[in-house]
Amino acid sequence: MLNNLTMRYLPDYLIWMIYIAVFIFGLIIGSFLNVVIYRVPRNQSIINPPSHCPHCNTKLKWYDMIPLLSYIILKGKCRYCETKISFQYPLVEFLMGITFVIVFQKFGWSFQFVKWIIFAVLLFVTGAIDLIEGVIPDVIVVPGLITGVIFSIFNGKSSFLQSIYGLLFMAVFFLIIILLTRGGMGWGDLTLGIMIGSFLGFKLSLITLVFSFIIGAIAGLILIVLRKKGRKDAIPFGPFLSIAAFVASIYGYRILEIYYFR
Ligand SMILES: [Zn+2]
C-alpha cells in the first residue's frame, strides 16, 4: 500500500516518478474517455468498432493513439486524410492526467483513491457530454449512483446512511427546482444530483449546490458579457454541478472545518 505516510519517507526523485506515472495513467484513461464522450450520446458501442478517423474512417494504428504525443506529432491532423483533429481530444487527456494527480495527492494509493477517482471520472464524462451534447445519459449516471451507494456500504454503516441522506436530499432539492422553474432544469440534472448525493452525503452535497450556483452565475455573466449567449438562452447546468462536486470531494471537509472553527 502506497499511502501518503509511506510516501513521506521516499526520496524526491521516486515521488516525482510516481506522480509522473499517475499522470500518464490519467492520460490513458482520458484517451478512453474521449471515446466514451463521443459514442455514448450516439448510442454506439464503446468497444466496437476500434478507433478510427471520423472523416476518412481509416482504422487508427497504436502510434496514432498515444495520448497528447500523437496529437503533437501529427500537428493536430489525421495522418491519412489530414482532416483537423478536435482540440477536445488532447484537452480531455490532459485534464484527466491532472485530475488523477489531484486525487492521488489527496488520498494516496488507497481504497479511497479508487472510490474518488471513479467519482471524478463519472463527473467528468457526464459534465463533458452535457456541455457538448446537452444531455445527461442515464447509462452513466444510474450505474454511477448505484456505485456510490455500494462504496458507502464498504465504508461502514454511518457512511451508508450518509449516502442515503445525500441522495434523498438531492432528489428532493432538484424535484422542487424542476417544479418551480418548469423546464429550467431537467430530469438529467436530477439524476446527476442523486449520483453526487450518493457519493458525497448530505453536507458535501449542500456545499456542491452552493458552489455550482456560484460557478454557474459567474459563467453565465461571462457568457453574457462576451455576448455568446442571450439572457434567456439555456446553459446546461451539468458541467457546473460536476465541477462543484469534484471540488467538494477534494476540499469539502477542509471548507467545512473553516466554518466550524471560526
Ligand atoms: Zn482521416
Cα(32) to centroid of ligand 1, in Å?
19
The percent of residues above 90 in pLDDT, for the chain, comes to 72
What's 60's DSSP letter? P
- For residue 163, the tally of other CB atoms under 10 A from its CB is 24
Domain that holds residue 239: 111-262
Q: Report how far residue 15's alpha carbon sits from residue 27's, in angstroms, rounded to the nearest whole number.
A: 18
Cα(27) to centroid of ligand 1, in Å?
22
Cα(85) to centroid of ligand 1, in Å?
9
Cα(91) to centroid of ligand 1, in Å?
20
Picking from 109, 133, 152, the residue at the C-terminal end of a domain is: 109
- pLDDT at position 79: 92
Q: Report how far residue 141's alpha carbon sits from residue 191's, in angstroms, rounded to the nearest whole number.
A: 7
Do 103 and 143 fall into the same domain?
no
Picking from 46, 81, 109, the residue at the C-terminal end of a domain is: 109
Cα(127) to centroid of ligand 1, in Å?
27
- pLDDT at position 168: 98
Cα(4) to centroid of ligand 1, in Å?
45
> Tell me: the pLDDT tens digits for 44-103?
998 888 888 888 999 999 899 899 999 999 999 999 999 999 999 999 999 999 999 999
Q: Which domain CATH number covers 191?
A: 1.20.120
Cα(38) to centroid of ligand 1, in Å?
16
> Tell me: the pLDDT tens digits for 153-167?
998 899 999 999 999
Amino acid identity for residue 55 in this structure: H
- Give the total number of structural domains in the chain: 2
